[in-house]
Structure 1
Amino acid sequence: MPVFVLDEVELVLETPKLGAIPRRLLRRRVDNWSAQQDVINGALDFLFHGF
């Protein structure tokens, strides 16, 4: 699972749990990780395709 740093805190992108987060809890944007798009896409590919 990918690890990102926000305000010197390491955060793990728990890809399998993404679907369990209700949209109403996703309020304000705290950062832009578009530069990490390849890492995020890789994690999603692994989740859905297993490679």
Structure 2
Amino acid sequence: MAQISGAPALDRQIAAVYRDTLGLDDVASTDSFFDLGGDSLSALSCYSTASSS
């Protein structure tokens, strides 16, 4: 997976939400949420987490 160190702050925050929700070690800003194993229910969880922060 690609590194996210050079990504803008919002991309890093979204990648962190993806990592936490999907239980992954590394997520790049270019990764597809659904290709990583996300589904509609985990997408709602991501939305809830992101909107509360």
Give me the TM-score of the superposition, normalised by structure 2.
Answer: 0.32
- Structure 1 or 2, whichever has the larger Rg, is 1
Instruction: Tell me which protein shows more strand as a share of its residues.
Output: 1
